[in-house]
C-alpha cells in the first residue's frame, strides 16, 4: 500500500482535472459530497473518519477522467467502503442521501456557524451547541464570556468569512513586507499557505519571515506587530514566542502538527481602493459597520523561522494540510524519518538531515519534487 500511497500522493497525473469525477469545476467545494462528510466528521471531532474522507476526496480530485461507474474505482487506494457507497449513491441518484441529510442537519449547520468564528474550535462549538446555541445571535445573548480572539472573531465575522482574493493577498503582502523591512532590513518575507500553492482565494494569508543572518530574526514578530500597530492596521493579534530551543522534538516524538516557531495569528485592516463595487456578504453577523466602510478585516498568519530551518518551515507552512500529513506519514513508514516544520530526523542514522531547499527535503525522503501547485491534495 505504501507504493500505492506514493503513486497517489506524490506523482501527479499528466492532466489534472479538478473535480472530474462527480462534479464539474463550477460546483463549489462545499457541495462536493465527500468533502461534506469529511467536514462533518471534523465538526464531530472524529479525526480518523475525517482524514479517511479527505483522502478519498483528494483521490477523486486527482483522477484525470470522469468516472461513470464504481467499477472503474476498483483497485484504487484511499477509497473505503463508506466512500464507495456514497459515490455509488451519487452516480445512481445524482446525490447521496447521507450527504443531503448531513447538510440539512441542525447540528452541522450550527457547528459550521459557530466554528466559523475565529477563535472557536470544535470543542467549544460542541459545548455551546449542546446548550442550544445555534446562531451568532443566540451566542451573543447567551451571556458567555468570550476570550479576546473570539470577541474579534465575532466582531469581524462577516469579513473573515468572506474569502480573501489573490489581489487582497498581494495588497496584504505589500503591507507586511514594508513593516518587516522597516524593522529589520534584509529580512525576507515569503508568501506561504494556499496562495503559494496557486489558490485564487483563501481563508487567510500566511507569511514566513526569515533573515539570512541566523539569530537576527529572534523577537522579530513583536517588532513587526508594533510597527503594524503604529500604522493603525493591526486589529487583533496573538503572539507566541519560539519554544523550539527549549525542547526540540528530539527523535521526532512530537505527534502534534503544531510547530514551535515564533508566530502571530492576527487580523489586519486592509484598506480597499475599489471597496464600492463589492458585494456585502450575506452572513448572520452585524452588518452595520462592515457594509460601508472602506476597509475589510483579513486573517493573517506571520511565522518567523531561523534561516537554518527555513526550508522545513516553508514546506510545512505551504500545505495543504492533507499533503503535509501524507508526507510525514511517508517519512515515518517508508524512511523511518520524522519530518516536521523544523527539521528532518533520520531514526536509522540517529541524526538530523539538513536542507536549504524544499527540493533537498524531497530528495532526502526519496521522493520526486512536487512544486507548490501540485500540493493541493
Ligand atoms: P486556506 O486558504 O484555508 O488558508 P491553507 O492551506 O493556507 O488554506 P492554513 O490553515 O492557512 O491553510 O495553513 C497553511 C499551512 O500551515 C498548512 O499546511 C498547515 O499545516 C500549516 N499550519 C497552520 N497552522 C499551523 C500551526 N498552528 N502549526 C503548524 N503548522 C500550521
Ligand atoms: Mn492559509
Ligand atoms: Mn493560516
Please tell me which residue, 2 or 131, carries the higher pLDDT value. 131
Say which residue, 57 or 187, is predicted with more confidence.
187
Average pLDDT of the residues in 350-362:
98
For a ligand 1 pocket test, name from 301, 319, 375 the mutation site with the most ligand atoms within 8 angstroms of its C-beta: 319
Domain count, the chain: 4
Identify which of 321, 342, 343 to mutate to test ligand 1's pocket (most ligand atoms within 8 A of the CB): 321
The whole-angstrom separation of Cα 112 and Cα 92 is 29
Neighbours of 61 (CB within 10 A): 20
Q: Higher-confidence residue: 252 or 77?
A: 77
156 occurs within a structural domain? no
Q: pLDDT tens, 3-48?
A: 444 444 443 333 333 333 444 444 455 558 999 999 999 999 999 9
d(C-alpha 270, C-alpha 278), whole Å:
14
188/302 same-domain check? yes
From the CB of 206, is ligand 1 less than 6 Å away?
Answer: yes
Tell me which of 58-62, 127-131, 202-206, 277-281 is least confident. Answer: 277-281
Query: Quick one: pLDDT at residue 21?
Result: 42
Backbone angles phi, psi at 311, to 5 degrees: -60, -40
Q: Would you state the pLDDT for residue 26?
A: 43
On whether both 302 and 214 belong to a single domain, the answer is yes
Cα distance between residue 97 and residue 95, in whole Å = 6
Does ligand 1 have an atom closer than 6 angstroms to the CB of 326?
no
Atom of ligand 1 nearest to the CA of 193: 7
Cell 519571515 identifies what position? Answer: 209
One DSSP character per residue, 277-327 reads G-PPP--SS--TTTSSSSEEEEEEEEEE--GGGHHHHHHHHH--HHHHHHH
Mean pLDDT over the full length of the chain: 88
Rg of the chain over all Cα atoms, to the nearest angstrom: 22
Report the candidate in 10, 15, 12 with the shortest Cα–Cα distance to residue 363.
10
**pLDDT for residue 120:** 98
From 159, 206, 213, 277, the catalytic residue:
206
Residue-wise pLDDT tens digits, 166-188: 999 999 999 999 999 999 999 99
Same domain, 327 and 292: no
Identify whether 301 is a catalytic site residue.
yes
Q: Is residue 190 domain-shared with residue 71, that is, in the same domain?
A: no
Closest-CA residue, ligand 1 atom 9, reads 193
Single out the residue in 277, 307, 337 at which a domain terminates: 307
Pairing of strands 205-210, 295-304: parallel
Q: Is 213 a catalytic residue?
A: no
The answer, yes or no, to whether ipTM is higher than 0.85 is: yes
Confidence (pLDDT) at 69: 82
Residues lining ion ligand 2 (Cβ < 5 A) are 193-194, 202, 204, 206
Domain coverage including residue 115: 106-147
Q: What is the pLDDT of residue 336?
A: 98
Same domain assignment for residues 228 and 342: no
- Would you state the pLDDT for residue 65? 72
Amino acid at each position: 500500500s505504501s507504493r500505492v500511497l506514493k503513486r497517489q500522493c506524490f506523482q501527479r497525473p499528466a492532466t489534472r482535472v479538478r473535480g472530474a469525477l462527480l462534479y464539474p469545476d463550477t460546483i463549489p467545494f462545499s457541495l462536493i459530497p465527500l468533502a461534506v462528510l469529511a467536514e462533518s466528521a471534523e465538526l464531530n471531532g472524529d479525526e480518523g473518519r475525517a482524514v479517511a474522507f479527505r483522502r478519498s476526496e483528494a483521490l477523486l480530485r486527482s483522477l484525470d477522467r470522469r468516472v461513470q461507474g464504481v467499477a472503474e474505482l476498483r483497485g484504487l487506494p484511499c477509497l473505503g467502503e463508506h466512500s464507495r457507497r456514497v459515490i455509488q449513491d451519487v452516480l445512481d441518484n445524482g446525490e447521496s442521501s447521507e450527504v443531503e441529510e448531513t447538510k440539512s442537519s441542525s447540528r452541522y449547520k450550527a457547528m459550521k456557524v459557530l466554528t466559523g468564528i475565529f477563535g472557536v474550535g470544535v470543542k467549544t462549538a460542541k459545548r455551546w451547541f449542546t446548550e442550544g446555541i445555534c446562531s451568532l445571535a443566540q451566542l451573543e445573548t447567551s451571556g458567555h464570556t468570550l476570550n479576546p480572539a473570539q470577541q474579534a472573531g465575532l466582531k469581524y465575522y462577516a469579513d473573515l468569512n468572506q474569502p480573501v482574493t489573490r489581489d487582497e493577498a498581494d495588497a496584504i503582502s505589500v503591507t507586511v513586507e514594508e513593516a518587516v523591512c522597516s524593522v529589520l532590513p534584509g529580512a525576507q518575507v515569503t508568501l506561504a499557505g494556499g496562495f503559494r500553492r496557486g489558490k485564487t482565494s483563501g481563508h487567510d494569508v500566511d507569511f514566513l519571515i526569515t533573515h539570512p543572518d541566523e539569530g537576527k530574526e529572534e523577537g522579530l514578530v513583536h517588532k513587526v506587530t508594533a510597527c503594524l500597530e503604529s500604522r493603525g492596521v493591526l486589529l487583533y493579534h496573538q503572539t507566541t514566542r519560539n519554544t523550539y530551543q527549549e525542547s526540540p522534538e528530539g527523535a521526532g516524538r512530537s505527534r502534534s502538527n503544531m510547530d514551535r516557531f515564533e508566530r502571530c495569528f492576527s487580523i489586519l485592516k486592509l484598506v480597499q481602493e475599489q471597496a464600492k463595487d463589492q458585494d456585502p456578504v450575506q452572513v448572520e453577523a452585524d452588518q452595520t459597520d462592515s457594509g460601508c466602510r472602506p476597509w475589510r478585516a483579513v486573517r493573517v498568519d506571520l511565522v518567523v523561522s531561523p534561516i537554518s530551518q527555513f526550508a522545513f518551515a516553508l514546506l510545512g507552512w505551504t500545505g495543504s494540510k492533507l499533503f503535509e500529513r501524507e508526507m510525514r506519514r511517508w517519512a515515518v513508514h517508508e524512511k523511518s524519518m520524522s519530518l516536521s516544520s523544523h527539521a528532518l530526523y533520520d531514526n536509522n542514522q540517529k541524526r538530523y538531515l539538513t536542507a536549504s531547499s524544499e527540493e533537498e527535503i524531497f530528495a532526502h525522503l526519496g521522493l520526486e519534487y512536487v512544486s507548490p501547485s501540485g500540493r493541493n491534495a
